[in-house]
Amino acid sequence: YNKYDLDRKGFEMKVKAKDFIFLAEIFVSLILFQIMFSIFTMGFNPTPYWGAEMAIVGLVSLSVASLIFFVRIALPGKGGKVGYGIIMGATTVLFAAQEVYYALFGTFFTVYSMINSAQITEFMDVIFINMWEQKIPLVLFFAVGIIEIVRGVKKDFTYADEERRKKKVTMLITAVLCVSTFLGSVLTGSVKSEDPMSPYQNLYGTGEIQGSVRCCGLLGAMGIDFWKLVLGWEPKIEAGEPYVETDSEDNVIEGLDFVRLAEEEEDETISTMHEYFGSVEPTEKNEKTGIFEGKNLILITGESFTDFAVDPEYTPTLYKLQTEGYTFSNFYNPLWGVSTLDGEYVNLEGLIPKPGVWSMKESSNNDLPFTLAHQMSKLGYAVKAYHNHSIYYYQRDKSHPNLGYDFKGQGREYSFTDSWPESDLEMIDQTTSDYLTPDENGEIQPFHIYYLTVSGHLEYNFYDDDMAVKNRDAVEDMDMSDACKAYMAANIELDKAMELLLERLEEAGELDNTVIALAGDHYPYGLSSSEISEFRGHQIDETYELYKSTFILWTPGMEPETVDKLSSNMDILPTLSNMFGLEYDSRLLMGRDIFSDSEGFVVFKDKNWISERGTRDDLLEEDEEYTSRVDKKVADMFNYSALILDENYYSYLSPYIK
């Protein structure tokens, strides 16, 4: 007893032991935040790495707790209280905001989005509605945060002059603890693995923040995201695959010799990219090559559009286009990190969006020779694009002209009725004369038009969704929940827009010479899984089936055709390029021509995938070698898509692209 008493007194001479009890309280509050966050967002889904993941979350939380504690005791008087209150308050707000964001968009925002999202105020009414719906999680987060802030502010960390040594020792121990636990978390996640679900790949690979949250917790994920953004992080790539010979039957650009380009290139990254794309198997020309050559093209990205928005009773025009055109029965529309903007990026550029940034915005100054606008403008087409919401949102006023379009919409040459969301019907009504008016010779220039719709945007209700309210009477007889009715009512506006579009094309004598292509930007995440299950008629699988969708491709007089091949919206650009007989290089896009003999393949933002042999989850146990090989293919797709964006890679090929 005496020895223990002496040891305790000796310890008290150097530090105040009770101060570290407060550090433990901060740590516990952060762990509690993370547990609640997991419950209210992604849940707990055990992985083979659950032990490492728990260790990383614990170490990161202890490191952050040590940092907060250090600030509290290091700053004198009120400074410590204010600093502590700001950090704990910001941490509370971060967890709460990410929970609301996830409930709204099905993913988490990044540091890049925080910096660039001043325009989010346009959607404050939607945000407030969602905050009310998430009131229980918010109350719990703020209850824990406020309690911890009050306790921390009330605590007395005043050190008398004779106790300065104790303060210095306490600060030193805290600093060492902060740094050592941070390094411990990094080392735990640095165990090399090619598995896309591993902590290593989420720390060092190209991946979405959602995977980082699962592996490292929210605080760790935001730290990784910040680190990659500040450093301008790019993936590490290695060459080594053999070159693939091409011939005149392949969809490649004649004269594009990747072997020679790699040998002559001094930049190691660009040289390795040449080697990689030279090793990609091109797709061959096929029976669908050039069947639409010379026709007009109207391409539409439909906000939250999916296959169950197509109904013979409620959306008869969409049903007509679907059943009289190509029916893609095995088509998927994955959700990416920046929802609509990334969905557009995939539809229009055929690449995987780079996680953590707005890829479309970042491509604003890049060479983009394979977009439909650039390809078709070279053939003499008028290329125009329209959007019925603000063209400045996500800085589309910069990105879309660089895609090759004369881009107009709300805020530039058009002023649509002030509503939320705006009317697709009104957009079609106001814009068709822009490209269907004959010139002085009585001729209409061949055209490629791109529409980005908004009428199908969430929230799906009958009190502040103006499109749902407008078309409410049409869905009163639906035996479904109000949210499902509102979703269909919103898409009735899109159907009316398509009906008017066909009428205007026919009046101008251009209908028979026009192809209509329509795909969604993402699944309707404004509907809950149970509400989507209502449409499906069964409980859906949220890993794969949630993203099942459709791609409408139609021209008058065509023979209806069902296409069972596995495909996704990443395949739209190469498929249309082939069907219109455009000169493009199939090796330089991540999507594949759906009508080619290439394997059907779908990839998701967490690097999960479906091949013609099955889903990754099923094949993981059945054929580990095949799964590892496809995992490597998916990692390459992510890495080289990111490098195409970061390095402006197509500009290196400009001498060969006419």
Please say if the pLDDT value at position 13 is more than 70. no
Tell me the pLDDT tens digit for each residue of 604-640: 999 999 999 999 999 998 999 999 999 999 999 999 9
Please say if the pLDDT value at position 47 is more than 50. yes
Please say if the pLDDT value at position 2 is more than 50. no
Please say if the pLDDT value at position 186 is more than 80. yes
Closest to 519 in 3D by CA, of 577, 452, 604, 421: 452
In terms of pTM, does the model score above 0.85?
yes
Q: Per-residue pLDDT averaged across 417-442, rounded? A: 96
Residue 564: its pLDDT value, please? 96
Label residue 114 by pLDDT band (50, 70, 90): confident
Which token pair is 507?
């009046």
Residue 159: its pLDDT value, please? 63
Cβ atoms of 237 and 272 closer than 8 Å: yes
CB neighbourhood size of 341 (10 A): 21
Strands in 534-650 per DSSP E: 548-549, 551-554, 561-563, 567-568, 601-603, 609-611, 614-615
The backbone torsions φ and ψ at residue 286, rounded to the nearest 5 degrees and listed phi first, read -145, -170
Place of tokens 């080594």: 240
Q: Per-residue pLDDT averaged across 568-576, rounded? A: 98
Question: Coil, strand, or helix at residue 187?
Answer: helix
Closest to 421 in 3D by CA, of 358, 481, 347, 489: 489
Residue 63: its pLDDT value, please? 97
Q: Per-residue pLDDT averaged across 416-436, rounded? A: 97
Q: Per-residue pLDDT averaged across 552-563, rounded? A: 97
C-alpha–C-alpha distance, residues 246 and 249, integer Å: 8
Cβ atoms of 263 and 231 closer than 8 Å: no
Q: Per-residue pLDDT averaged across 111-136, rounded? A: 77
What percent of the chain stands above pLDDT 90? 80
Label residue 235 by pLDDT band (50, 70, 90): confident
Tell me the pLDDT tens digit for each residue of 253-269: 998 999 999 999 999 99
Residue 120: its pLDDT value, please? 59
DSSP labels for 495-555? HHHHHHHHHHHHHTT-GGGEEEEEEESS--TTS-HHHHHHHHTSPPPTTTGGGEE-EEEE-
Please say if the pLDDT value at position 479 is more than 70. yes
Residue 5: its pLDDT value, please? 46
Across the chain, mean pLDDT equals 92
